[in-house]
Amino acid sequence: MAVLGLATAALSADALYRAISVTRAQRLERGREAVRDEVDRLAAQGAGVLATQSPIVGMRAGIVSGAGAAAALAAAVPLVWRPALERSAARAGTASSPVEIEAEIDGGQLVGRMVRMPPDRLLWAAVLVRPSPTLQSWRLLVVALAFSALLLVASASYSLVTVKRAAGALQSALSALADDLSAPAPRSGIRELDDIAVGIDTLARRLEESRRIQEGMVRDLARQERLAALGRVVAGVAHEVRNPLASIKLRLDLAARRDAALPEATRDAIDHASSEILRLDRLVADLLIVAGRAVGPRAPLDIGALLRARAEALAPWAALRQVAIGVEGGGGATGDGDALARALDNVLRNAIEASPEDSTVEATVEEDGSWLRIRIADRGAGVLPGRAGEIFEPFFTTKPDGTGLGLAISRAIARAHGGDLIYRRHDDVTRLELTLPSGQAAGHTEKPTGDFRALHGLP
């Protein structure tokens, strides 16, 4: 653009300059022709002492002779003409050919002709050829064209540098986005390039969001596949284990009832075996919940009382580890009491095991609108940030003697009740939050739609 503009301006200026030159040359040539014609006219008139009138406007002409020729010539022309005409008259007095007059006078060109005729006569004619009235405007136009050409070159150069710098910044941003979709695209102040940068930012954000969704779907799919495999295993285990356990418990109960004279130690052993069988049966039920099976019958519950009861049951074991348990708050919900008790046991045990000596596990219950939040906090070391998302996966554990099923079972029970269990770490405090529909919300058949964590601002 700059080259084309400069070339156009240069050609236009050259054309104007040539037009000015041609016009000036034509006017000078017409002046010379008029002077020659006037001298020829005077020569054709013959004798005459002085003739200072001419039929051409602005022209001075005449015939002078003798000693008074110089004075007559000076009187017939304007003052500014006199030096040039006097010099020419002196040359013409001794010349055998006509003397041409060309002189710059008063902003114009003085054009004249002198011819000596015997015996001592001098024929002369002169006219001042002034520039064309449009010449000045044409000159201004040439200057304006040159100035506009320089502006065009400067603006084009600035635009070229700016666009090249902005394009380089966008190219660098694209290279950065290849590794990190959160890298921003720079703004250059050029509207068109800024629109492209906004489009790149929007595309990058959408790609990043799509990638997060894809990763979440991959994790969910992997989890579902693991749970499906676990469900198949648990279903087989439940079929193969529950029936023998039921048969063993039935025979133990019958033996205890038929023989009232059993020794106390034998009866205690039977009771202990029966309780262990019940514990195994509950474990199978929990595994079925993790695999996606429904929980047991539901009834209105006082969650605050249930949490306090589980804390009291675990208090002796916690005291051996020099850890105290504090419970505050209350609220109601509808659910399977046995399943929720096992879920709370698992979370409390996890917090007690993670707590340092002489510390307190803080358990609180509070109602938040239509939801009941049970928060259990400890001051343990927590889980490595990179592995925090795995703590609810079945069989994941950081304990040498752990099974990795406690938190997985607790989350499965919470979700089976329409809630969730989440992990948070803040200011050296680990919090596990078990959320359930509150007593009022639990009476409705409507279930919350969408993802529970997204609805309630949970990570």
**What secondary structure does DSSP assign to 217-285, as a single string?**
HHHHHHHHHHHHHHHHHHHHHHHHHHHHHHHHHHHHHHHHHH-TT--HHHHHHHHHHHHHHHHHHHHHH
- Kindly indicate the confidence band of residue 377, based on its pLDDT and cuts at 50, 70 and 90: very high
Taking the C-alpha atoms of residue 375 and residue 108, their distance in angstroms, rounded to an integer, is 104
SS3 content of the chain, % helix, strand, coil (to 5): 60, 20, 25
In which band, very low, low, confident or very high, does the pLDDT at 288 lie, cut at 50, 70 and 90? low
Distance CA 71, CA 93 (A): 15
Sign of the CA dihedral with 131 first, then 137, 143, and 145 last: negative
pLDDT, position 456:
34
Q: Look at residue 449 and tell me whether its pLDDT is greater than 70.
A: no
The pLDDT value recorded for residue 442 is: 44
More confident residue, 46 or 245: 245
Count CB neighbours of 130 within 10 A. 14
Bridge partners (DSSP) of residue 429 are 426
Sequence-ordered list of residues with C-beta below 8 angstroms from that of 292, at least 6 positions apart, any chain: 227, 231
pLDDT of residue 209: 87
pLDDT for res 5: 66
| pLDDT of res. 162 | 82
- pLDDT tens column, 414-440: 988 889 999 988 888 999 999 999 864
Q: What is the DSSP letter of 417?
A: T
Of 134, 77, 80, the C-alpha closest to 109 is 80
3-state secondary structure of 372: strand
CA distance linking residue 325 with residue 363, whole number of Å: 7
**Angle (deg, nearest 10), helices 69-76 and 82-92:** 150
Q: Are strands 299-302 and 323-329 parallel, antiparallel or unpaired?
A: unpaired
Give me the residue label for tokens 């966008």.
170
Q: What percent of the chain has pLDDT over 90?
A: 15
Reply yes or no on whether the pLDDT at 326 is more than 90: yes
pLDDT at 239 over 70: no
Q: pLDDT value at position 184?
A: 79
What CATH code is assigned to 299-455?
A: 3.30.565.10
Lowest mean pLDDT among 90-104, 334-348, 398-412: 398-412
State mean pLDDT over 14-42. Answer: 81
At 436 the three-state DSSP class reads strand
Residue 176 has pLDDT above 50, yes or no: yes
Q: Would you say 119 and 100 are in contact if contact means Cβ atoms under 8 Å apart? A: no
Distance between CA 113 and CA 201 in Å, rounded?
83
Quote the CA–CA distance of 373 and 438 in Å, as a whole number: 9
- Give the H or E element holding residue 121: strand 121-129
Q: Strand, coil or helix: what is 411?
A: helix
For residue 178, pLDDT beyond 80:
no
pLDDT higher than threshold 60 for residue 454: no
More confident position, 259 or 424: 424
What mean pLDDT is reported for the chain?
A: 79
In 46-79, which residue ranges form alpha helices assigned H by DSSP? 69-76
- Among 19-33, 280-294, 344-358, the range with the most confident prediction by mean pLDDT is 344-358
Strand partners, 363: 327, 376
Contact 290, 227 (CB under 8 A): yes
Q: Decide: 115 and 62 in contact? Cβ < 8 Å.
A: no
CB atoms within 10 A of CB 320: 9
Q: Are 333 and 302 spatial neighbours (Cβ–Cβ below 8 Å)?
A: no
Q: Would you list the domain boundaries of the chain?
A: 2-137, 238-290, 299-455
pLDDT of residue 444: 40
The DSSP element (H or E) to which 414 belongs, if any, is helix 406-416
**Cα–Cα dist 194/160, whole Å:** 16
What is the pLDDT at residue 84?
A: 87
Dist. CA 457–CA 459, nearest whole Å? 7
Q: Of 186-195, 299-308, 317-326, which gets the smallest average pLDDT?
A: 186-195
- Calculate mean pLDDT across residues 405-417: 86
Residue 328 has a pLDDT of 92
At residue 139's C-alpha, the angle toward residues 137 and 144, to 5°, is 90
User: 309: pLDDT confidence band, cut at 50, 70 and 90?
Assistant: very high
Give the closest residue to 325 by CA, choosing from 359, 367, 365.
359
- Torsion sign across C-alpha atoms 447, 449, 453, 458: negative
Whether the pLDDT of residue 222 is over 50: the answer is yes
Q: Would you place residue 322 in the very low, low, confident or very high pLDDT band (cuts 50, 70, 90)?
A: very high
Reply yes or no on whether the pLDDT at 45 is more than 80. Answer: no
Phi and psi at 390, nearest 5°, equal -100, -5
Across 123-127, 135-139, 140-144, 217-221, least confident range:
135-139
| Residue 93: predicted pLDDT | 75
Residues ≥6 apart with Cβ < 8 Å to 17: 142
- What residues does 301 pair with on adjacent strands? 333
Helix (H) or strand (E) holding 203: helix 191-258
Position 136 pLDDT exceeds 70: no
List, in order, residues 6 or more apart from 319 with CB less than 8 Å away: none
- Using pLDDT thresholds of 50, 70 and 90, give the confidence band for residue 97: confident
Q: What's residue 58's pLDDT? A: 75
Q: 3-20: per-residue pLDDT in tens? A: 776 677 677 767 666 766
Q: What pLDDT shows up at residue 373? A: 93
Q: Does residue 294 surpass a pLDDT of 70?
A: no
**What is the reported pLDDT for 106?**
77
Instruction: Kindly state the average pLDDT of the residues 367-378.
Output: 91
- Range scoring the smallest mean pLDDT among 43-47, 147-151, 321-325: 43-47
pLDDT computed for residue 53 by the predictor: 55
Residue 246's pLDDT is 73
Q: Which residues are paired to 49 by β-bridges?
A: none
